[in-house]
Amino acid sequence: MRIFLLLVLATVVSRADEIWLGESMARLGFSNNAPVREGQEERFERSNPRAVVVAERDKESITINGIQVDMERAVRAKAFKVKGQPDVIRLTIERCDYEKILVPLLWGPPAGSRRPLRIVLDPGHGGKDSGTVNPALNLQEKNLTLDLAKRLAVLLQQSGHEVLLTRSTDTFVELGDRTKFANQVKADLFLSLHFNAGPINRAAGTETYWLTPGGQHSTKDSANAGTVGQLPGNTYDALNINLAYEMQRALITSLGSTDRGTRRARWVVLKDLQCPGVLIESAFLSDATEARIYTQDAARQRLAQIIAAGVAAYEAKLRR
Ligand SMILES: [Zn+2]
């Protein structure tokens, strides 16, 4: 009887779009080590043979196998009421984060998703648009992204893909034309390659972006919440998050760089895609240490291998 009462009450949270994290995880098969704990629940950890999920109160991201995934809204603490007993503080998440992040990542991509054969690589910037620059090291983002794309193309061809580039020379290509090209050639997958910029020597690490789901807000952009509805690229939300997560995981585990998150944004090159796609910011050219690494051919080749491994990890998830 006590257990029944707990289950009934557990589904009642004041806002309809807010759900108990423990309940959500139980639904995803993470119930085996999930006792209701007394007192303040600040940190939440659940595991099954495939994943360890950690959530912390007031954080706008969750970690899955140690990789940071940004969410629509921070994890919150709420009083969990059981009649005749003192309240227990437990964590809640937004229902849309359960549906758009936890379900596709922990249950895997939709059944029947086929392996991408034709991959379009998009070397960021080009021509009059140099992207970010590091004058001290004589580095321009447009040159690094093109070099990286060419190296990556060879590797992906070796693993049986057809690879096309949105530019193969130092030319300027409009953002919208990059997406149009991918759609015209009927790409199965789109990877936009970039290097990041921030306050000089004060920002470093790796970010992978997927298209923000319709009606939700992008990473660090809560002011824009709900102002943008469903975009064509949102057809692939469940695949996009899997691709972004596997890419970020490959990059972070192999590069050992700072994990700045599996992030959400409505980049122009992602929003009208008719296939899954992500935008990768491998490292900061504004950071002397990170930038110096990529002056070396061997480091760029290794980065290409890691991104190819990220694609392979995504494909392995499609087969499960
Ligand atoms: Zn860029």
**CATH number, domain with residue 138:** 3.40.630.40
Residue 86 Cα to ligand 1 midpoint, Å, equals: 53
Q: How many contiguous H segments (helices) and E segments (strands) does the chain have?
A: 10, 15
Question: Rounded to 5 degrees, what angle do the CA atoms 43, 49, 55 make?
Answer: 15
Distance 12 CA to ligand 1 centre (A): 45
Residue 64 lies in a domain: yes
Distance 72 CA to ligand 1 centre (A): 24
Task: Give the bridge partners for 18, in sequence order.
Answer: 94
CA of 281 to the centre of ligand 1 (A): 8
From first to last of its 320 residues, what are the pLDDT tens digits of the chain? 344 444 434 444 556 699 988 888 889 988 645 444 544 667 888 888 889 999 999 999 999 999 999 999 999 988 878 888 888 888 899 999 999 999 999 999 988 888 999 999 999 999 999 999 999 999 999 999 999 999 999 999 999 999 999 999 999 999 999 999 999 999 999 999 999 999 999 999 999 999 999 999 999 887 666 678 999 999 999 999 999 999 999 999 999 999 999 999 999 999 999 999 999 999 999 999 999 999 999 999 999 999 999 999 999 999 87
Are residues 90 and 145 both part of a single domain?
no
- pLDDT for res 193: 98
Between the CA of 255 and the centroid of ligand 1 the distance, in Å, is 19
CA 96–ligand 1 middle distance (angstroms)? 29
User: For residue 8, what is the enclosing H or E element?
Assistant: helix 2-10
- Give whole-number Cα distances, 264 to 60, 73, 149, 232, 252, in Å: 12, 12, 23, 16, 17
**Cα–Cα distance for residue pair 65/49, rounded to 1 Å:** 11
User: How far does residue 268's CA lie from ligand 1's centre (Å)?
Assistant: 12
Domain end: 97, 127, 158, which one?
A: 97
Tell me, yes or no, whether 45 and 136 share the same domain. no
Please provide the DSSP assignment of 214-255 as one string: TTS--TT-GGGTTSS---GGGGGHHHHHHHHHHHHHHHHHHH
Are 291 and 142 members of one domain?
Answer: yes
Q: Is 264 helix (H, G, I), strand (E, B) or coil?
A: strand
HSE-CB at 220 with a 13 A cutoff on CA atoms is: 5
Q: For the chain, how big is the Rg over CA atoms in Å? A: 21
Dihedral sign for Cα atoms in the order 53, 57, 62, 63: negative
Distance 95 CA to ligand 1 centre (A): 33
Interior/surface letters 153-187, b for 16+ CB within 10 angstroms, e for the rest: bebbeeeebebbbbbeeeeebebeebbebbbeeeb
Tell me the residue length of the chain: 320
Residues 168 and 302 in one domain: yes
Sign for the pseudo-dihedral over CA of 68, 30, 45, 92: positive
Give me ligand 1 centre to Cα 296, in Å.
19
Which of the listed residues 97, 131, 153 is the one where a domain comes to its end? 97
In a domain, 24, yes or no: yes
Between the CA of 108 and the centroid of ligand 1 the distance, in Å, is 30
226 burial via Cβ count (<10 Å: 0-12, 13-18, 19+): exposed
Check residue 301 and give its pLDDT: 98
Query: Rounded to an integer, what distance in angstroms lies between the CA atom of residue 289 and that of residue 287?
Result: 6
**Residues 48, 131 within the same domain:** no
Per-residue pLDDT at 298: 98
How far is ligand 1, taken at its centre, from the CA of residue 154, in Å? 22
How far apart are the CA of 183 and the centre of ligand 1, in A? 21
123 in the same domain as 91 = no
Domains held by the chain: number: 2
* Cβ–Cβ < 8 Å for 60, 51: no
Do 81 and 142 fall within a single domain?
no
Tell me whether residue 173 is in a domain. Answer: yes
Give the distance (Å) from ligand 1 centre to CA of residue 124: 5
78 within a domain of the structure (yes/no): yes
The answer to whether residues 170 and 269 belong to one domain is: yes
For residue 172, the CA-to-ligand 1 centroid distance in Å is: 13
Residue 161 lies in a domain: yes
Q: Which DSSP state fits 280?
A: E
Are 277 and 242 a contacting pair, CB within 8 Å? no
Residues 315 and 320: their CA atoms lie apart, in Å, by 9
The boundaries of the domain holding residue 269 are 118-319
Distance CA 229, CA 265 (A): 13
> Based on the domain organization, do 209 and 297 belong to the same domain?
yes
Q: How many alpha carbons lie under 13 Å from residue 121 in its C-beta half-sphere?
A: 28
CA of 79 to the centre of ligand 1 (A): 44
Query: How remote is the CA of residue 228 from the centroid of ligand 1, in Å?
Result: 23
